A and B are shown apart, each in its own frame.
Chain A
């Protein structure tokens, strides 16, 4: 095989992997859609407890949104560096992405903790159950994404930026962009809507 053929072969494998992962993301999106539907149906069923307007803090939600959006942006920049095989730049930008993601997760867990301290748990009412399940599922995805990112970056540090690793990073970044898009809807339907 000539070098050109190898390249073409790799590009095709690349495309197939991406498509497979895309199909997974779409099924994941369907799961989120169902959780959104559950939340939309149950968010008024507070059984006399406080509503989202009293429980949520809009500036906090906005901060989380902007942090996640920025991390999605830095992830894209990191991917451009990775495709150009610039190892140092890739590590720096993915490092920033990772830290932003960690900040986001910390803020979210803090919010959960303060709700639980106030006595609002998964068992409080239908509204709280659907809230914790929807936002918690997203948080779980973020946690897994961070773990995956960290492991892949560990390999990059150890082995350098080779073709298969760039492909893996591309999947991580696709996953990360996807989580940001899901968050836009959580921000809108869970947080903004509570203050209408």
Chain B
């Protein structure tokens, strides 16, 4: 009697399969419903649907595979746990590393950047906001202690040239330290040694910028219509 009971719990009963099947169905339909009806924002939905998948995996491992119910020590479970560990490192690590690489190798807003860089001012008759032709040029000189002039007033489609006062390399970051911002798809501009950097002012509004190595050295440019 005790032996039959042991085999039953190890290999599963009709009841355990039915329970596992119904639970799996429920945990398939809920995320499907959530996605079809867009119940949450997509950034919130992703962890939710992955959570449902993981729960369903645990359900199937418990009710269909019966791992963790055999005699101890349970080597199957041990091996499974170590595999999950490796998967977390490989998959998680790849995603983190490659996303970081993507982030650092592409402009933060690729389309906008492409439109501005290529001067595509209309797509299918719709204006993109990129400049058709460039107008006046403005200059700011960045020194170790200050920015001259501190405020640049410009019109849309003018250009703005960042000059390093002493000719050394600098990184100009948009925003107010430590709160960064992006301008026309760029989060920062790198001025190489002995060179200038010019941007087209395609986006209107008031924007601040600062020198990354001297956050106190900051300036502003206002782009009007």
Contacts of B223 in A (CB 8 A): none
Q: Is the CB of B60 within 8 A of A181?
A: yes
Q: Mark B52-81, 1 if CB is under 8 A from A, else 0.
A: 110011001100110000100001100110
Residue numbers in B under 8 Å from A62 (CB-CB): 28, 32
Instruction: Considering the complex, give the chain A residue whose CB is closest to the CB of B79.
Output: A26
Q: Which stretch, A29-37, A127-135, A139-147, touches the partner chain B?
A: A29-37
- Whether A72 contacts B60 by the Cβ 8 Å rule is yes
A5 → chain B, closest Cβ, in Å? 14
CA distance in complex: A95, B87 (Å): 34
Nearest Cβ distance between residue A123 and chain B, in whole angstroms? 22
**A138 interface contact, C-beta 8 A:** no
Stretch at the interface among B41-49, B149-157, B207-215: B41-49
- CA A34 to CA B89, docked complex, whole Å: 11
Find out whether the CB atom of B87 lies under 8 angstroms from the CB atom of A29.
Answer: yes
Residues of B contacting A66 with CB < 8 Å?
Answer: 25, 28
The one of A15, A26, A36, A192 that contacts B83, using a Cβ cutoff of 8 Å? A26
Over the window 86-104 of chain B, the binary record of Cβ atoms lying under 8 Å from chain A Cβ atoms (1 yes, 0 no) is: 1100110011001100000
- How far in angstroms is the closest Cβ of chain A from B83? 4
Residue B11 at the A interface, CB < 8 A?
A: yes
Interface size class of B (residues with CB under 8 A): 35 or more
- B20 adjacent to chain A (CB < 8 Å): yes
Interchain CB contact under 8 A, A196 and B90: no
The B contact surface, by secondary structure, is: helix
Task: Flag the segment in A100-108, A153-161, A183-191 that touches B.
Answer: A183-191
Instruction: Give chain A residues whose Cβ lies under 8 Å from the Cβ of B87.
Output: 29-30, 33
A148-192: CB near B (< 8 Å → 1, else 0) gives: 000000000000000000000000001001101100110111001
Kindly identify which residue among A72, A174, A188 contacts B31, using a CB–CB cutoff of 8 Å. Answer: A188
A184 close to B53 (CB less than 8 A) = yes
- Taking a contact as CB atoms under 8 Å apart, the answer to whether A58 and B64 are in contact is no
Q: Which chain B residues lie closer than 8 Å to A193 at the CB level?
A: 46, 49
Interface membership of A83, Cβ < 8 A? yes
- The reply to whether A22 and B56 form a contact with Cβ atoms under 8 Å apart is no
Interface status of A122 (Cβ within 8 A of chain B): no
A31 to chain B, nearest CB (A): 11
Q: Is A91 located at the chain interface by the 8 A CB criterion?
A: no
Which residues from chain A contact B90 at a C-beta distance below 8 Å? 30, 33-34, 37
What separation, in Å, do the CA atoms of A19 and B42 have in the docked complex? 40
B17 at interface by CB-CB < 8 Å? yes
CB distance from A176 to the nearest CB of B (A): 9
Chain A residues with CB under 8 A of B70: 15
Q: Report B1-36 CB contacts with A as 1/0, cut-off 8 Å.
A: 000000100011110011011001100100110011
Residues 27-48 of chain A, each 1 if its beta carbon lies under 8 Å from chain B, else 0: 0011001101110110000000
With beta carbons under 8 angstroms apart, the residue of A29, A70, A188 that contacts B52 is A188
Q: Are B28 and A181 interface neighbours, CB within 8 A?
A: no
Q: How far is the CA of A155 from the CA of B26 in the complex (A)?
A: 36
Report if A195-B36 is in contact (Cβ < 8 Å); known contacts: A26-B80, A40-B94, A177-B60: yes
Select one of B11, B28, B50, B61 contacting A65, CB under 8 A: B28
A positions within 8 Å CB-CB of B: 15, 18-19, 22-23, 26, 29-30, 33-34, 36-38, 40-41, 58, 62, 65-66, 69-70, 72-73, 76-77, 79-80, 83, 174, 177-178, 180-181, 184-185, 187-189, 192-193, 195-196
| Between-chain CB contacts (< 8 Å), 19 pairs | A26-B79, A30-B87, A33-B90, A34-B91, A37-B91, A41-B99, A58-B35, A72-B60, A72-B64, A73-B18, A73-B21, A77-B17, A80-B11, A177-B60, A181-B57, A184-B28, A184-B56, A189-B50, A192-B49
